[in-house]
Chains A and B, each alone.
Chain A
Amino acid sequence: MIPTAYYIGLSAILFAIGAMGVLIRRNSIVIFMSVELMLNAANLAFVTFARVYQAMSGQIFVFFVMTVAAAEVAVGLALIVAIFRTKQSIDVDQMNSLKG
């Protein structure tokens, strides 16, 4: 049986990749996908500990996260489409109207 630490390590690696993607990339779609990656890294951690502790709550939490993520994608993609229509670009560095 694969030890728990592997799952947690994989989860941490996925989360780090996601975080780096959000912080470094400029493409909104990619940033979005990186956010999804981070969510799924968290999901992996949830199910891992659910299995370790034989608790159903962790698994149920994952479903909630997936649901919220699906809703978030819908909202997020709609925002990106709206931004693209005004700016003709999805580069987040173009969206700097709040610059002081």
Chain B
Amino acid sequence: MFLSEAATGGPQFFNLVPLIVFLPVIGLLVNIIIGGRLSEKAIGTIASSAAGLAFVVSVLQAISLVGHPEGAVVPLADWITIGDLRLRWAFQVDTLSTTMMLVVSGVGTIIHIYAIGYMHEDVRHNGDPSRYQRFFVFMNLFIATMMVLVSGDNYLMLFVGWEGVGLCSYLLIGFWYDKGKDGIGNAIAAKKAFVTNRIGDFGFLIAAFTMFGVFRSFEFEEVFRQVPDVATSFPAAIVIITLSMLLGVAGKSAQIPLFVWLPDAMAGPTPVSALIHAATMVTAGVYLIARSHAIYVVSPLAQNTVALVGGITALFAATIAVGQFDIKKVLAYSTISQLGFMVAAVGMGAFVAGMFHLVTHAFFKALLFLSSGSVIQGLERGHQHVEHDPRLKKQLKGAGHHFDPQDMRNMGGLRTRMKTTFWVYLIGALALAGIVPLAGFWSKDEILAEASHLNPTVYWLLTIAAFFTAFYMGRQIWMVFFGEARSAPAEHAQESPAVVTVPLIVLAGLSLVGGALNLPGLHTFSHWIEHTVQIEEAVKEVQLGEAAAEAAAGFNFVVAGVSTVLALVAIALSYWLYMRRYQELKQLPAARRPDDPLRSILGPVFTVFENKYWVDEAYAAVVLRPYAALSRFLADVIDWRFWHDWFHDVVIAGVYRGFTRLLSVRIDLGGIDAFANWLATATQQLSAQMRRIQTGYVRNYAMSIFLGVVVILGYLILVSFQ
């Protein structure tokens, strides 16, 4: 059927789309079955090629969409058929899903290649090289499930992928499940991520059930077609759906109040942090809202809530990032903050801006995470070098001192020792900070420009968050790469191998030019996405009037200028604090010297940032501890004492024992046994009587025979005479 259509508008390969799921599945099956006998290189190559081929298929989809921007739905199989619920496993190919496919498989492939080198060292540092194979199986599984998520043509198929990526996230956070604090720290982090996501999934399910109740369908097309009618006839349903869905988004995309799992998720290996917890999986929530744009635009209440949640999260997480010392934790909170930007954007109705930021963020945040992995391993190599040199070993503080290669206070001056890593990190950081002309500038500015028209409150939240973003990235750059080395391992850090640095360079290139996707005046990406998200302009016109919509579509120099100036000020401020003031503070005696120059200025406020506003502790006090107490009460009192000790041991066991006694004493002993015993006794007594007949004297027997014959003959004679 596709061949006949192909004649009308260029080549198209829509029917190849199932391969984006099946190629990674094949890759992981191959690695499961024969991976144990293959070398590490072969395992990594198989996994990377599976992801790479999925990327090729995604590119083919994009090429097809150029000629057929309306996209296609490619059915693969019937999934569920119950009553009037008929669900297919079908692939929705349109500009929105294809954008996600390209990001997932493209960034995914680069990270797979990076992981070949990174995991080679990681499995050795952690002392279990046999897990190398498992890592790539999980990674391919992630690509497959993420593809299911972005390519489904209905909400349930999306949910299957949604849960699948959650599972992969859990498996990979807990990849070193026997490591971490007390040997279970990583396992606890994995569990935290899973449970928090379950809370979000609960919201998603409520939304899905309500949706089926109202629309009698899960398919995007059918649901969106009915939205305008339902919005007038039953607006409460729309509010329930959108707000429950927001809970799901908050879980998956780490927004307030469910963001707490993402920082802990950094327990996973760094490629996982880059792929799953920065570039792709966590953006699923943004994708969900962009996909459900038709539902959100009819409910201003939902839109405002989403935008506000995103805006507050962006600022909240950005301030926490300022107070962190773990290089990956800074990036984790930065991710939460940037996700806040995207959620705010899609919440305001700026779907294109949100998706644009999603794409560029995938580039530079993956780059930052991977570079931080390179930094960490560079430091670990330096640490090993120092440990094996008896002269240098004395510099390590105390014997058995544990060295944390992720603590930025152990770094410094890496600029000269890890040149490639430094440059790519700098590009990533500047892109994130929003410096012209890197990718982050264009996308972030588009969000800010839209926000300045659509939602001033959120605009201010995001602008302040952008200021903090530039500040904490500046702080990180100064602390990690400039100044003098703050520890012996940092002094001997070594650059990573090419298999690690080449993917970094590729990502750095993307972060440099990624903004070109949607340059002001050209709007390539806007027109691309608008094939799928058409209502945006219409809504804007309704909200602002036509003239304002025209202005909004353009590039806002005021907004861009303000944010650029703020970013530069923030970077200058961080330079002053972490280069100049750091030197001044070094003159102080060690006991009075603060570990962070900012602490000497902000004082307790910095402590608040450092301790993440005590959100984890607050959750522990408000939710976890009462929950644990309730569980303990239910377990000890209700379950154990009431059910077990009383109901089971007393009531049920008592009744059972009584019934058993009735059966055994009355029925069995008193009835069946008594009868059997009586039968035996009676037989015994009878035979005791009968044995007297057996005298043993021959003549007695002869007499009996004789008398018998006489009786029989007598009888016969009597009979014959009658």
Contact = CB atoms under 8 A, between A and B. Distances in A.
Given A19-B706, A23-B706, A100 B699 contact: no
Contacts of B721: none
Contacts, number: 34
Interface stretch (B84-92, B105-113, B689-697): B689-697
B702 interface: yes
A88 interface: no
17 contacts: A19-B706, A22-B699, A22-B702, A23-B703, A26-B699, A92-B698, A92-B699, A93-B697, A93-B698, A96-B695, A97-B696, A98-B694, A100-B690, A100-B691, A100-B693, A100-B694, A100-B695
A23 B701 CA distance: 9
Given A100-B691, A100-B692, A95 B698 contact: yes
Contacts of B695: 96, 99-100
A23 B699 contact: yes
A97 B695 CA distance: 9
Interface in B223-263: none
A65 to B, nearest CB: 17
A74 interface: no
Given A24-B699, A98-B694, 14 more contacts: A22-B699, A23-B703, A26-B699, A31-B698, A92-B698, A92-B699, A96-B695, A96-B696, A97-B696, A98-B696, A99-B695, A100-B691, A100-B694, A100-B696
A78 B697 CA distance: 20
Contacts of A24: 699
A99 B698 contact: no
Interface of B is mostly: helix
Nearest 10 pairs between A and B by C-beta?
Answer: A96-B696, A99-B696, A100-B694, A100-B691, A92-B698, A98-B696, A23-B699, A23-B703, A22-B702, A23-B702
Interface of B: 690-699, 702-703, 706
A38 B574 CA distance: 145
Report, as a range, how many residues of chain A touch the other chain: 10 to 19
Interface of A: 19, 22-24, 26, 31, 92-93, 95-100
A92 B702 CA distance: 12
Nearest to B710: A19
A99 B703 contact: no
A29 to B, nearest CB: 14
Contacts of A26: 699
A97 B694 CA distance: 10
B699 A96 contact: no
Given A19-B706, A23-B702, A96 B692 contact: no
Contacts of A97: 696
A100 B695 CA distance: 6
A96 B697 contact: yes
Contact of A92 (B692, B694, B697, B706): B697
Nearest to A19: B706
Nearest to B695: A99
Nearest to A26: B699
